[in-house]
Amino acid sequence: MANHKSAKKRARQDAKKRIYNRYYKKSTRTAIKNLREMEEKDKAVAFLPKVISMVDRLVKKNLWHKNKGANLKSKLTKAVNAL
């Protein structure tokens, strides 16, 4: 366990960030799943920018690699256009 005051603080911060990161990663994965399950093109087209924004946010915070984000956005856009 942490011995120094700063190490204890860092452990507290890491625990808080882990919960935050898990929440946003899970919500993004759920949004992606919901987008892929949509069958109406107009709803999917309206929802796509929100999902792309969520993916960009995770990439910006280095929670996902930038190539993973780019690949996801490309595949989702293709899927929506194919509806």
Confidence (pTM): 0.82
The mean predicted confidence, pLDDT, of the chain is: 94
Q: What share of the chain has pLDDT > 70, as a percent?
A: 98
pLDDT of residue 1 exceeding 90, the answer is no
- Could you tell me which CATH number the domain at 5-81 has? 1.20.58.110
Give the pLDDT confidence of 15-42 residue by residue, as tens digits.
Answer: 999 999 999 999 999 999 999 999 999 9
Domain ranges of the chain: 5-81
pLDDT of residue 2 exceeding 80, the answer is no
Spatial distance between the Cα atoms of 25 and 43, rounded to a whole number of angstroms: 23
